[in-house]
Amino acid sequence: MVAAATAPYGSYAGEAERAEPATAGSTAGRAHPRPAAGAVPAAPALCDQLKALNLTPSAAAAPSKPLPSPRAAAAPAPLAASPRTPPPPAPVPGQLPSLDLEGVAALIRSGAARRIVVMAGAGISVSAGIPDFRTPGTGLYSQLQRYRLPYPEAVFSIDYFRRDPKPFYTLAKELFPGDYAPTPAHFFLRLLSDRGLLLRAFTQNIDGLEQLAGVPAERFFGEPLPARFHRRRAEDLGRADLLVVMGTSLVVQPFASMVADVSPGVPRLLVNRERVGHSPAAKALERAARAAASSECSSSSASSDDDGGAEAARGEGPGGAGSGSDSDSDGSDASGSGSDSDDSGSSGGGISGGFDFGVPGNSRDAVHLGDADAAAWRLAELLGWTEDLRAAIDADAAARAAAAAEDDE
C-alpha cells in the first residue's frame, strides 16, 4: 500500500506538486496539476486523489461521530436605554434663575459671573458698631446735628470743611480705623477677591474696614473725584457681569447713578433693609401699590372706628380711642417708611436706569431685604464657602487678640 502523504489534510494549497511511482491500477505516478483558482475538479479525478492519499477509513476504524450542527449564536439582549438626566439649562445672559440670593448664587456657581463689581455703603459696617448715616436717633447724621450743619452731607463737603472742619474731624475720630473689626460682609468681599471674582469694590465708607479685611476699594464721597475714579467707573462697570449693591440708600451722587452704568441686561442685586434705587417705572408701581394699601387701611380704620364708637356708647369693649391710637401709629409708620423710600431715588421719581423691582418682564434685578451680614452668610452657604468665611473671621479675631496681648505687654 502506498504510504500516506505526510502533509496534513487541508494543506493542499501552496504545496509543491508531487508524483508517486506508478502501480497497477492506480493513477499514482502521474502528476496531478493543481486546479486553476476557482475551478472545481472533475469527480473521478478527485476520487483518485483521495485514494492516493489513503484517506479512506479502514473497516476496523470506528465510524466517526457526526459533527454537531453549529448552533446559532444567541442574539444579545437589547440594552435598556439608560435614563439620562438632562443637564441644567445654561444661564441666559442677563437673566437670573430667581430674583433673590438663590438666583445670584446659582449664577456665580455656573461661572457666568466672573467680573463682579460691589458698591458698598455704611450698612455693611453697622454690625461692627459703626452707626449708619440716616437711622433717626442713632445714625451719624443725627449725632452731627449739634454742629448745625446746613444739610447732613455737608460734613463730607470740601467747601464746608474749609469753613468749619470740626464736624469732619469729630466724625473721622469716631470712625478711625483700628477701633473696629471687619464684618462678615467685608470678609465675603474678601472671598470674592481671593477667588478672582471681584473686579472692583466701590465704597462710600471712610472706616477702612475693606482694607482691614484684605480688599482694596475705591473710596469716594462729596468733593470732585479724581480722574482715576471716573476712568475705573467707566471701565469696570462696563465690563461687569454682576453688580452687587450692599447697605446703601443710593441717595448721594454719583454713587446713586452708578447702578445704571452696567451694560443692559447685566444682573444686579440689592442687599438693604429697604428697597432703594428704583427706576421711574418701579417707583410708579410702588406708589400705586402704596396708595392702594393706604386706601384699604383707611377704609378698614373707618370701619373699626365706627364699631369702636358703638361699643363705647354701649359701654362695651376697649373703646374707639384705643383702636384709633393703633391706627394712627400704623399710619405714622407707613408714612415714615414711605418718606424714606421716596428719598431713596435721586429725585423721588426714581433713578434713570435704576432697579426694575416689580416691573413686568424684570429678569435681572434681585433684592434681599435685610442686613448685609445675614446676606453674606447665606450667599456663602449657597456657594459652599461657609467654612472659608468662618475661617477668615476667626483668623482676623486671633490676629487682633495677639496684637492686643502684645500691646498689653
Cα distance between residue 265 and residue 95, in whole Å = 7
Residues 6 or more apart whose CB falls under 8 angstroms from that of 348 comprise 283, 342
This prediction has a pTM of 0.62
- Give backbone dihedrals phi and psi of 219, rounded to 5 degrees, phi first: -110, 135
Residue 6 vs residue 334, higher pLDDT: 6
Domain definitions of the chain by residue range = 102-127+182-282+342-408, 131-174
Comparing CA positions, the residue from 239, 206, 160, 191 lying closest to residue 391 is 191
At 213 the pLDDT is 92
CA distance 115 to 83: 37
**The C-alpha cell that represents 205 in the structure block:** 465708607
Range of weakest confidence among 77-86, 328-337, 399-408: 328-337
List Cα–Cα distances, 192 to 36, 49, 101, 219, 222, in angstroms: 84, 91, 15, 18, 28
The continuous run of DSSP H or E covering 119 comes out as: strand 116-120
Q: What is the Cα 338 distance to its own chain's centre?
A: 32
Cα separation, 130 vs 34, whole angstroms:
109
Mean pLDDT of 272-277: 93
Q: Which has the minimum average pLDDT: 50-59, 100-109, 278-287?
A: 50-59
The rounded Cα 397 to chain-centroid distance in angstroms is 29
Report H helices in 195-344.
209-212, 227-239, 280-314, 320-343
Tell which wins on pLDDT, 255 or 305: 255
Structurally, at CATH architecture level, domain 131-174 sits in 2-Layer Sandwich (3.30)
- The superfamily in CATH containing domain 102-127+182-282+342-408 is TPP-binding domain (3.40.50.1220)
Identify the band that residue 15 occupies on the pLDDT scale cut at 50, 70 and 90.
Answer: very low
62-98 pLDDT, tens per residue?
Answer: 444 554 554 544 544 544 444 555 544 444 555 799 9
Domains 102-127+182-282+342-408 and 131-174 share a fold: no
